Amino acid sequence: MSKTALLTLGRLPKSLDIARALADSGWRVLVAEPSARHLTGVSHAVARSFQVTAPVIDANAYLDELCSIVRKEKVDLVVPVSEETMHVAALADRFVGSTAQGAPRIFTMSATEVRRLYDKLGFARFAQSIGLTVPSTFEYGDAGAQALIMAGAVVLKPRFSCAGRGVQILARGEDLTRAARAASPGGSSEGRAGQDQDVGQENILRDAYLIVQKFISGLVHSTCSVVHQGRVLGTVVYRAAQLSGTVAVAFDRVEHRAIAAWVETFARAACWSGFLSFDFVIDERGVPHGIECNPRATSGIHFMSPQHLAEAMTFPERIESISMRPETRLQQFWACLSEVQKLRPGIGLLRGLRALATTPDVSWRADDPWPLLSMPYTAWPIIAAANQAGVSFGEVATRDLDWRPSDSPEKA
């Protein structure tokens, strides 16, 4: 009798990779997704999709609905995919006291551990405490933050965010308070009726959860790992070959021993289990500096062997390591097409068209063609919202999944 897995997101290509890997290994795959239609839902790999409340609208309702699906469908494994991981990590608490047969295995750590690393300040402090290289990082308002910007360029960003939202690079000596005011949810203290201006500004800055990090110039690399009890089963190191806003939509897989060693040290110290991903900057000496942690899957998952990926999620204690697909460059075709259409006629356009025609797509499989072919339809609500707001697809695709301490009924 096949076992049942529930993916907690279906709109992204990495959801499709996970669904196919599990289905090919004999699992019945379900998807819970806030959108009425989604990329993974049209795949042959998916037995059924469920529309659920977006966690940013009602986090409690979201978890209640996931619990209901788990119980009714007798789910054995829950696999969070993207930013909703910060919510799904709390799902285990809903099954405390259940029998082993009634509680699913959730492919991530506890809510406390997941949110500790999602917190960019908490991540930096933990990495520093185990001797790993990270840029100097301070909470906004800390004296160290002001000293940092007087010494050189810095990055100002929210402690809890994704897809590059709210990130600013500030030159040495810039007005940190003015930049923080622009980064706040309201944009300024004006228009808050009934509040004293200074008090209103203090509240805005507090709500933004801002941090200040030393800016390091260099090439950005990203990783995606699968880890079991602190042992790294496989790590993909990759660079953006094409960006849409701040989100990569084409990727080059590379080898980087120092980054791989950094990841292994971190995973072992955290005794992590589940997906674990990072962003790095390589300085002029070749030293990797961890700038962010994503305690979830990232696009590097596309390079992993589906068979080994499935084994790592279902029987991680049995697998020695995850092998990689032969391709070293992959793309998200429709997103790359959108970027190429922005180019003016010339050499750049010709190069873009050549890359578009020769780079394998992450979603294409001849025996399961509809996810790629129907993507303009399944992703249209996100595409339309991105066009209306004038931002990238990647930024809009996760807006209804965000987690912040003030928004969630589950406190970190």
pLDDT > 60? residue 405? yes
Return phi, psi of residue 139, to 5°.
-70, 145
336 found inside a domain: yes
The answer to whether residue 226 is domain-embedded is: yes
Condensed to tens digits (0 to 9), the pLDDT of residues 192-227 reads 333 333 434 444 444 458 999 999 999 999 999 999
Region 231-254 average pLDDT: 91
Could you tell me if 395 and 305 lie in one domain? yes
Rounded mean pLDDT, 363-380: 94
Q: Residue 89's pLDDT band (boundaries 50, 70, 90)?
A: very high
Task: Indicate if 161 and 228 belong to the same structural domain.
Answer: no
Q: Rounded to whole angstroms, what are the CA distances from 156 to 103, 165, 187, 199, 403?
A: 41, 11, 15, 22, 19
Tokens (6 digits) for 211: 């941090």
In tens, the pLDDT along 7-35 reads: 999 999 999 999 999 999 999 999 999 99
pLDDT digits (tens, 9 = 90+) for 152-190: 999 999 888 776 777 899 999 999 988 888 775 444 333
Amino acid type, 86: M
Residue 247: pLDDT band with limits 50, 70, 90: confident
Whether 317 and 355 map to the same domain: the answer is yes
**Mean per-residue pLDDT, 275-301:** 96
Which residue, among 135, 162, 127, has the nearest Cα to 263 in the 3D structure? 127
**What's residue 61's pLDDT?**
96
Question: Domain containing 183: what range?
Answer: 136-214
**By three-state DSSP, how is residue 394 classified?**
helix
Q: Give, in order, the Cα–Cα distances in Å from 131 to each of 116, 124, 159, 269, 272.
A: 18, 11, 21, 11, 17
Say which amino acid occupies 367.
Answer: D
Q: Does residue 124 lie in a domain region?
A: no
- Please tell me the predicted confidence (pLDDT) of residue 167: 87
Residues 163 and 54 reside in one and the same domain: no
Q: What is the pLDDT of residue 279?
A: 96
Residue 411 has pLDDT above 50, yes or no: no
Specify the pLDDT at position 208: 53
What's the pLDDT at 195? 37
- pLDDT recorded at residue 78: 98
Whether 123 is in a domain gets the answer no
Domain termination site, one of 199, 214, 229:
214
194 and 259 housed in the same domain: no
Contacts of 239 (CB under 8 A, 6+ apart): 219, 220, 221, 222, 248, 251, 252, 254
**Which pLDDT score, from 0 to 100, does residue 63 have?**
97
Assess whether pLDDT exceeds 70 at residue 282.
Answer: yes
What average pLDDT is seen over the chain?
A: 89
Instruction: Concatenate the DSSP letters of all residues of 305-324 into one string.
Output: -HHHHHHHHH-GGG-S---B
Output the pLDDT for position 156. Answer: 94
Q: What is the pLDDT of residue 378?
A: 93
Whether the CB-CB separation of 322 and 234 falls below 8 Å is answered with yes
CA–CA distance, 319 with 376 (Å, rounded to integer): 37
pTM of the model as a whole: 0.90
- Name the residue type at position 234: G
Domain endpoint, select from 145, 179, 214: 214
Domain for residue 411, yes or no?
no
pLDDT cut 90: percent of the chain above it: 70
Q: Say if residue 386's pLDDT is above 80.
A: no
| CATH value at residue 278 | 3.30.470.20
The CATH number for 42's domain is 3.40.50.20
Residue 123 neighbours by CB distance under 10 Å: 23
Q: What is the CATH number of the domain that holds 180?
A: 3.30.1490
Q: Are residues 171 and 252 located together in one domain of the fold?
A: no
Tell me the CA end-to-end span of the chain in Å, nearest whole number: 38
Please give the structure tokens belonging to residue 247: 């989100």
Residue 349: pLDDT band with limits 50, 70, 90: confident
Same domain, 208 and 238: no
Strands 231-244 and 168-170, bridge-based pairing: unpaired
Question: 6: helix, coil or strand?
Answer: strand
Which residues lie closer than 8 Å to 73 by C-beta, 6 or more apart? 4, 6, 30, 48
Indicate if 223 and 345 belong to the same structural domain. yes
User: Chain centroid to CA 392: how far?
Assistant: 15
Instruction: Based on the fold, state whether residues 196 and 96 are members of the same structural domain.
Output: no
Instruction: Say how far apart CA 342 and CA 7 lie, in whole Å.
Output: 34
Q: Are residues 229 and 324 in the same domain?
A: yes
Here the tokens at position 119 are: 């917190």
Query: What is the full DSSP assignment across 237-273?
Result: EEEEEEEETTEEEEEEEE--HHHHHHHHHHHHHHT--
The answer to whether residue 315 is domain-embedded is yes
Q: For residues 302 and 227, state if they share a domain.
A: yes
Residues 10 and 80 in one domain: yes
Query: How many structural domains comprise the chain?
Result: 3
Last residue in a domain, options 196, 214, 232: 214
**pLDDT category of residue 99 using cuts at 50, 70 and 90:** low
